[in-house]
Amino acid sequence: MKQQDLLKLITSQFISNLKVVSLNGGFKVELPFKDPLGDPIEILVTPTNDGLLFDDLGHTASLLFHLRQHREESPGHLLTRNLTDAYALTMDYDQGLLSVKLSFEEDTSQLLDFIKVLISAQTVLPEIQRRKRERRGGKRLDARLRQEIQQLSLAEYVMRQEEVSGKYEVWTVDYKYVSRTLGEPEDVLIVAADLHGREPRLKAEHVITLANDVLEVDETRHLRVVYDVNGNSTHEPAQRAAAMIQAYQDKIGYQAYDFGDSRQKQALASLTHQELSPLALGSSDLNV
C-alpha cells in the first residue's frame, strides 16, 4: 500500500468515527476513543462571545466519584489535579466539569492538550485500584446491566453515570432516562448494587440511603435497584444484603430486581423498552 493511500485510510477511519451532534446551543462531539465502560468519550462545545468553551460533560468528575477517588488525598484526585495544572485546564468540582476556554485567535494546541488530558483520565483512573478489586464469578453486575441496556434499540436515549440531587446529597446513578408513558416527562433512575464480593451489606445500605434521599425530593422520579448475588445461594452475607434491599422497597418507594432471576431480568428489560419507546416517536426536545 502506498504511503498516500495509507494516510487516506487512517484519516477516513478517524473521521468516520468522529460524530458531532447539535445540543443546547452548542455541539456534542463523540471522539473515536472509548471510556472505561466502552462508550465514546464526549466533549461539549459551547460558543461564547469571544471564543469557544470546551468541557467533558462531567465525565471525569463522575468517574472520580464512581471510583471513590474524589477526595483531595486520593491518588485519582492528585493525578487529575496534576494533569490539569500542567496543561492549564480548569477542573471545577462544584459543577463537576473539566474545561478549557479558547478565543478565536488562539491556535488548537490547548484544545489538543484538553483532549489528551481527558483521554488520559478516562484511561488511567480505572487502573489505580484495579488490583484491589475482587473479581469472582465473571462480569461485574454494572457491566452485565450495561450490556442489556446497549441491546435495546433505543439505548441512545439512556444517560450513563448521571449525577442526581437528593434532599441532602448529590448521588451518581448508573443510568437515567426520561419516560413519557404517562404524557408528562418523568425521570427513571437505575442503580446497580453488586452484592458479590466484599461488604455486600454496605453496598445495600448505600443504595437504600440513595433511594431514600433522591425519592424524597421528587415524587415523579422512579428508581429501580438492580442486584444479583451471582447465583450463589450459599453466600449468606450477599443473601442478607439482598433481603435488605427487598425489605425497604415498599417503604421507600423504589423497585428491586434480581438480575439473576430470568423472569425479573426480562420484566426490567420489557419495562425499560416500554418507557423508552415513546421517545423514538418524536421527542426531539429531550436533552439526552
pLDDT of residue 285 exceeding 60, the answer is no
Grid cell 436515549 is found at 157
Element (H, E) at 171: strand 170-179
CATH of domain 141-281: 3.40.1350
Q: For the chain, what is the mean pLDDT? A: 80
Q: Domains of the chain: which residue ranges?
A: 3-131, 141-281
- C-alpha 287/C-alpha 101 separation (Å) is 23
Over residues 243-272, mean pLDDT: 90
Cβ neighbours of 94 (radius 10 Å): 6
102-139 pLDDT, tens digit each:
887 776 788 889 999 999 888 888 887 654 444 444 45
**Average pLDDT of 163-173?**
89
Of the given ranges (58-72, 89-103, 144-158, 273-287), which has the lowest mean pLDDT? 273-287
Q: Domain spanning 3-131: which CATH class is it, in words?
A: alpha beta
Q: Which residue has the higher pLDDT, 278 or 6?
A: 6
Please, what's the b/e burial string for 149-184 (b: 16 or more CB within 10 A of its CB; e: otherwise)?
beeeebbebbebbbebebeeeebbbbbbbbbbeeee
The kind and range of the H/E element at 62 are helix 59-66
Please, is 101 exposed, middle or buried when counting C-beta atoms within 10 Å of its C-beta (0-12, 13-18, 19+)?
A: middle
Instruction: Report the alpha-carbon distance of residue 3 to residue 282 in Å, rounded.
Output: 46
The pLDDT of 2-20, averaged and rounded, is 71
Average pLDDT over residues 157-172: 86
pLDDT at 256 > cutoff 90: yes
Average pLDDT rounded to a whole number, residues 40-54: 88
Per residue in 63-78, pLDDT (tens digit) is 888 888 888 888 888 9
Question: Could you report the per-residue pLDDT of 196-209, keeping only the tens digit for each?
Answer: 767 888 889 999 99
210: confidence class by pLDDT, cuts 50, 70, 90: very high
Q: At what angle do helices 59-66 and 109-124 cross, to 10 degrees?
A: 20
pLDDT at 31 over 50: yes
